[in-house]
Structure 1
Amino acid sequence: MPRSRVRRYALRTLAVLGVLVLLAVGGMVAWSQIGVMPAEPDPLASVTNDPRITVTDAGLALVLTPTDPTTSDAPLTSTGLVMIPGAKVEAAAYVATFADVVTTTGVTVVITKPWLNLAFFDVRPLSTFTDLAPNVDTWMVAGHSLGGVRACQLASDTSGVILLASYCATDISTSTLPVLSISGSEDGLSTPEKIADARPLLPETATIREIEGANHAGFGAYGEQSGDGVATLDPATTRALISEDIITFLMR
């Protein structure tokens, strides 16, 4: 085959591959924006209207801080928590879950906005989000569902890990980090069986808590989720119990 024909064939092949890649990327971006689960307005409003807490949209994340010592139950501390949402769940959907944590312990909570609404594709380092709260010295990481898988990958850069209806795909069993795992008995996605199967990947000292009657969506405030189990515990009570467990863990 003449060299010029080979060159034309190669260029044509590269062009076709380029188009296919662009279509794949475009399709992924479009898919990531379809079916995003927004925060329920009432639980969110109950926090944004609370004078004890300030919710700041910093672009890359939402930053939750105690407003000041005179209106909060606890003053601002030098401890912070980066929270990574579940797949296709709006960051604001977790504000109601962490509000009591902020006002009771004084920690700063940074709820990330993952690339493509999927923590799996977000390869940004933890510092991307901790830099949003420069007054914080000590950081822990938390994650719901897929966000918890990402949290485990970032564990070595933190002083502790909190898993919410999630489990590690990364083995951190030899770590000395404190770990809290909270799950729901009625979770149809991160089922009790999946949580138990992944338990060996956590340190033996990890605190394991299963909330009876809680499902997967109960860890945020974004309504029902496809494939989930049916909760027998109301959402507000579920969030309160999750907050209590996190507060106890942080104040241990």
Structure 2
Amino acid sequence: MTRTRSRGRRILRWTLGIVGGLLLAGIVGILIYSQVGVMAAEPEPLAAVRDDPDIAITDDSGAIVLAPASGASDTGLVFIPGAKVDPWAYASILSGLVTDDDLTVVITKPWLNLAFFDLRGLSSFTDLAPDVDAWLVGGHSLGGVRACQLAPDADGLVLFASYCANDLSASGLPVLSLSGSEDGLSTPQKIADARPNLPADAIMVEIPGASHASFGDYGPQAGDGTPTATDADVEAVVVTEVGDLAASLR
């Protein structure tokens, strides 16, 4: 009986050791994956934002805040980056919302560069701009999927080359979906397939010639289509459409 118990303990320790080793290997693998191949912000568009006297920039440990230098802002956007994309890569395409529409834009810094692992609630970011009264939440690619999860706590939702995995069809939220005709990742078909998860009156805008990477300034992305729209073309649509949605909240 003693020998049987001793053998049982050895098997248990051996089993737990294997399970622990697999868990450790998985954690290490995720950490390595999250840090390797992060797509950096292109320097020229970012420099233009940093040099813009009409934009006040706060680089917080959890997010980047772009606000009108005048301080006049009652509407904001919490924006969640795509997987393994430098948050600064979205500063340029969103900057027009600050200068033209007086929005405060909070670009989050997802844990492990992956929005899927970031469990912070919306208030973690809206608290960075306490004077803002109404908030949109949005995101690009995987960041948009996470934004859908946070949308019930916001006043509206904006998707950049993304779609919802959760059902918001009965939420009553104002929703804007911006996509690209040349997107090789969040393809037009994937956008259409996930359309039932959005309210019936969601605004769906497909930008001709835009690819997946057209919604940020981080260079080409593996698996994406070839864009024919210029960065200026895409930014103009973003500023107009998101600005109109934000204006409807005021």
TM-score by length of 1: 0.94
The residue number in structure 2 matching 1:222 is: 218
The residue number in structure 2 matching 1:72 is: none
Cα root mean square deviation, aligned: 1.2
Q: Deviations over 1:110-147 (max 9, x none)?
A: 10111111111212111121222222232210011111
Task: Verify: 1:207 aligned to 2:209, yes or no.
Answer: no
Moved beyond 6 Å, runs of 4+: none
Q: Which amino acid aligns with 2:185?
A: L
Q: Which amino acid aligns with 2:29?
A: G
Aligned-residue offset at 1:67: 1.0
Distance 1:141 1:35 in 2: 26
Distance 2:35 2:147 in 1: 22
Distance 1:101 1:35 in 2: 29
Moved more, 15-24 or 2-11: 2-11
The residue number in structure 2 matching 1:33 is: 35
The residue number in structure 1 matching 2:149 is: 153
Distance 2:127 2:11 in 1: 49
Moved more, 219-228 or 101-110: 101-110
Distance 2:51 2:227 in 1: 28
Task: Verify: 1:239 aligned to 2:239, yes or no.
Answer: no
Q: Which amino acid aligns with 2:38?
A: V
- For these two proteins, the number of residue pairs brought into alignment is 246
TM-score by length of 2: 0.95
* C-alpha contact (below 8 Å) 1:189/1:228 kept by paired residues: yes
Distance 1:181 1:117 in 2: 23
Gaps of 5+ in 1: 69-74
Percent identical pairs in the alignment equals 57
Distance 1:141 1:160 in 2: 6
* C-alpha contact (below 8 Å) 1:38/1:93 kept by paired residues: yes
How do residues 69-84 of structure 1 correspond to structure 2 at under 5 angstroms?
A: 76-84=72-80
Distance 1:141 1:93 in 2: 18
Distance 2:131 2:10 in 1: 59
Distance 1:144 1:243 in 2: 15
The residue number in structure 1 matching 2:18 is: 16
* C-alpha contact (below 8 Å) 1:184/1:210 kept by paired residues: yes
The residue number in structure 2 matching 1:47 is: 49
Q: Which amino acid aligns with 1:115?
A: W
